Amino acid sequence: MGYRIQTVQGDITKVDDLEAIVNAANNSLLGGGGVDGAIHRAAGRELLAECRTLHGCKTGEAKVTGAYRLPCRYVIHTVGPVWRGGQDGEEQLLENAYWNSLQTAVTHGIRTIAFPSISTGVYRYPVDRAALAAVRTVRKFCEEHRDQMDIVRFVLFDRETLAAYDHAVWETEMDK
């Protein structure tokens, strides 16, 4: 049995056919702007209450909560790096955010998951570079955990981001 990597344009808070979505959170896990704010609004205050018990999250790490009013079962919160020009370990931290989110999923028996484009909003990570790091990391994880992951879907907010991830999927497929 293999895994599938998918890319779609859409709203991650509406994903209703996968077990978990990933929240591109900040270190506090207490909500913010962009994807983080949208997930917190859609899930309701119960998510914020559970996040308070987690005592934050370090950049590159991941933690799981229930999804409350969201149509999936779980939210995996991860913190991506703020872009500082690429010389401050940003790529490794971004890869860690994806890897640790997937590892958290596997640990909790989650086989289907949706990701946003982590760090490319207010954290200003260049989308093309982020997409390549994300897809490369997801593909490597899925190859190493082939029997534990079924679907990884990138749910992307706009056409430009979708195009970057589609290109990254194609490019990493050619590298196989």
Q: Which residues does the annotation mark as catalytic?
A: 36
In the chain, at which residue ranges do the beta strands (DSSP E only) sit? 4-9, 20-25, 62-66, 74-79, 112-115, 151-156
Q: Is the dihedral of CA 15, 174, 79, 119 positive or negative?
A: negative
Cα–Cα distance between 161 and 117 in angstroms, integer?
8
Cα–Cα distance between 4 and 70 in angstroms, integer?
23
Per DSSP, the three-state class of 23 is strand
Is 154 within 8 Å of 114 (Cβ atoms)?
Answer: yes
